[in-house]
A and B are shown apart, each in its own frame.
Chain A
Amino acid sequence: MIDFRSLMQPHRIVMMLIFVGIVVWCAVSLQWDWIPKYAPLALQGIWTTIWLLVVTIVLGFLLAVPLGLAQAVGPWYLAAPAKTFCTIIRGTPLLLQLWLLYYGLGSLFPQFPWIRSSELWPYLRQAWPYAVLALTLSYAGYEGEVMRGAFKGVAKGQLEAAKSFGMPRLTMFRRIWLPQAIRNVLPTLGGETILQLKATPLVATITVVDIYAVSSRVRSDTFIVYEPLILLAVFYVLVAGVIALAFHWLEVKVLGTGSRNGVVG
């Protein structure tokens, strides 16, 4: 972490002054009068971005665990489909997957009367279920690959010890295998979560109104180009910073309970 002393070097002070100068110049000479009008919409957009991120990460991770397990130790008839799924997801752009699901399924569903008359139809006509589906599958594909390595990386002796204690397989998985695997890949998961955050603005292309869509709307309504984009970039940097800090805290917490070195502060 950055401490106070390292910031107090002469060249850093000059750079910070320049940075403050740029911020002041932006605040004074750029156009910000559109903010009050669009603030409620922007708050909604921020909320959409955050819940999309959280929901797809949780669902995607739940899918990634069986995908990783199947590839690491599963029989070939489970490993092969899991590997194919991960390769396809990782080998094609997310934008294409999103459009395939939204336009493809979206044009397919109305052809079946029983879908149109079902209770789910009001949801299937909206865009967000497709966004959630595409982002979840994408996260699952990338994380399935990560979890494969993680499950393989757990020391054999640990599992053998659990077996020799007569632990049932499910308990062994829950108490020993999964926690150790997650612990090993926690730093990777942090990076992948930031990548997922950076993937969320793609949903704006299928009419989900997230914060990126709000900024595009401001641009097309008022012809103000840079100001909304600057705020948008600042927003993503802040959220990415929060994610990085959260994972750092989690690592200290999780890894700290395991080690008795006392470096945790």
Chain B
Amino acid sequence: MAQSAELLSLSPPGWGGNLLRGLSHSLQIAFGAYALGLVIGLFGAYGKLYGGKVTRDLLAIYTTVIRAVPELVLILILYYVGSDIINKISTAMGGGRVEINGVAAGIWVLGIVQGAYATEILRGAIQAVPPGQIEAAKSYGMPALMTMRRVTIPAMMSFAVPGLANLWLIATKDTALLAVVGFNELTLETRQAASSTRAYFTFFLAAGFLYLMVTLCSGGIFARIEKWARRGQPSLKGGSR
């Protein structure tokens, strides 16, 4: 026990600082990817519902393919494509090869993956809003953006929050996959600490505890958000998932 505490201490002989730095990287990537995913999802959902035929078909291909291919494979493909494009642009503009920022690359890669799931969640939520409400807004002559801001988004929130909560948990757990491409997030920091001290159980259990804390705290926060989104609605009995 004392030995484990020493290994996990925050100052340099211990590796606790490294784990916390990894956690902060993981959270940064998760926040960024989630935000990017929500933006893509909002546009995607509107495109799927109100877009032209071609837009709809292209979005259908996007969500189907992204949800059928393992995240690990997508991460590799998007990572190579992204770094290739950036390097092409950089050499065309006369610069040399660019060193890619790990956090930015992680956000770009996971954001595109999250966008596919968010599209489906938000599309379902918008469809669940009674059409009369949106029609009423239109008949008042509200511009489309204002309808979205004042009617559609507030009304769909209560339908979207459970799915979005799940998506956030997926985002935090998917950051671990970036360890495979060598980003210094929590899982990779843990593995490095574990393999240099040979104390595998201590470090992996500590990291598991950190992930679990993130999950449980997010669960609490999302429960409050859901309560807020449902304010004024009749309460629903039953399990939440």
The 9 closest A-B pairs by CB, nearest first: A93-B176, A91-B215, A100-B204, A240-B68, A198-B70, A93-B173, A104-B200, A103-B200, A92-B211
Q: How far is the CA of A171 from the CA of B72 in the complex (A)?
A: 44
A91 near B200 (CB under 8 angstroms)? no
- Partner-contacting stretch, out of A160-168, A228-236, A247-255, A256-264: A228-236
A95 near B187 (CB under 8 angstroms)? yes
Q: How far is the CA of A9 from the CA of B173 in the complex (A)?
A: 41
Given contacts A93-B173, A104-B200, contact A99 B187 (CB under 8 A): yes
B177 within 8 A of A: yes
Given contacts A99-B187, A100-B205, contact A107 B70 (CB under 8 A): no
A91 near B216 (CB under 8 angstroms)? yes
A11 near B191 (CB under 8 angstroms)? no
A93 near B73 (CB under 8 angstroms)? no
Task: Mark A191-229 against chain B: 1 for CB-CB distance below 8 A, else 0.
Answer: 000100111111001000000100000000000011001
Given contacts A199-B70, A229-B73, contact A12 B204 (CB under 8 A): no
- Chain A residues with CB below 8 A from B173, complex form: 92-94
Residues of B at under 8 Å CB distance from A? 53-54, 57, 65, 67-74, 76-77, 80, 169, 173-177, 179-180, 187, 190-191, 194-195, 198, 200-201, 204-205, 207-208, 211-212, 215-216, 239, 241
A103 near B194 (CB under 8 angstroms)? yes
Q: How far is the CA of A262 from the CA of B216 in the complex (A)?
A: 47
A96 within 8 A of B: yes
Minimum distance in angstroms from B107 CB to a CB of chain A? 17
B216 near A237 (CB under 8 angstroms)? no
Q: B177 contacts which of A11, A91, A95 (Cβ < 8 Å)?
A: A95
B73 near A201 (CB under 8 angstroms)? yes
A205 near B208 (CB under 8 angstroms)? no
Within 8 A of B (CB), among A32-61: none
Q: How far is the CA of A219 from the CA of B53 in the complex (A)?
A: 38
Q: A99 contacts which of B67, B77, B204 (Cβ < 8 Å)?
A: B204
- Chain A residues with CB below 8 A from B201, complex form: 100, 104, 108
Minimum distance in angstroms from B61 CB to a CB of chain A? 9
B211 near A91 (CB under 8 angstroms)? yes
Most chain B C-beta atoms within 10 Å of own C-beta, residue among A95, A225, A236: A95
- Chain B residues with CB below 8 A from A66, complex form: none
Q: How far is the CA of A205 from the CA of B178 in the complex (A)?
A: 12
5 A-B contacts (beta carbon < 8 Å): A11-B57, A99-B190, A104-B200, A212-B70, A237-B69
B195 near A103 (CB under 8 angstroms)? yes
B198 near A232 (CB under 8 angstroms)? no
Given contacts A198-B71, A202-B72, contact A96 B200 (CB under 8 A): no
- Chain B residues with CB below 8 A from A103, complex form: 191, 194-195, 200, 204
Q: How far is the CA of A230 from the CA of B195 in the complex (A)?
A: 33
- Chain A residues with CB below 8 A from B212, complex form: 87-88, 91-92
Residues of A at under 8 Å CB distance from B? 9, 11-12, 15, 87-88, 90-97, 99-100, 103-104, 107-108, 145, 149, 152, 194, 197-202, 205, 212, 225-226, 229-230, 232-233, 236-237, 240-241
Name the residue of chain A whose CB is nearest to the CB of B214. A91
Minimum distance in angstroms from A70 CB to a CB of chain B? 16
Given contacts A100-B204, A198-B69, A236-B69, contact A93 B194 (CB under 8 A): no
Minimum distance in angstroms from A3 CB to a CB of chain B? 16
- Chain B residues with CB below 8 A from A91, complex form: 169, 211-212, 215-216
- Chain A residues with CB below 8 A from B208, complex form: 88, 92, 96-97, 100
- Chain B residues with CB below 8 A from A197, complex form: 70
Q: How far is the CA of A91 from the CA of B71 in the complex (A)?
A: 18
Q: How far is the CA of A244 from the CA of B212 in the complex (A)?
A: 31
- Chain B residues with CB below 8 A from A90, complex form: 169, 215
Q: How far is the CA of A233 from the CA of B199 in the complex (A)?
A: 36
Minimum distance in angstroms from B163 CB to a CB of chain A? 13
Name the residue of chain A whose CB is nearest to the CB of B72. A201
Name the residue of chain B whose CB is nearest to the CB of A229. B77
Q: How far is the CA of A145 from the CA of B166 in the complex (A)?
A: 14
Q: How far is the CA of A91 from the CA of B180 in the complex (A)?
A: 20
Q: How far is the CA of A149 from the CA of B241 in the complex (A)?
A: 10
- Chain A residues with CB below 8 A from B174, complex form: 93
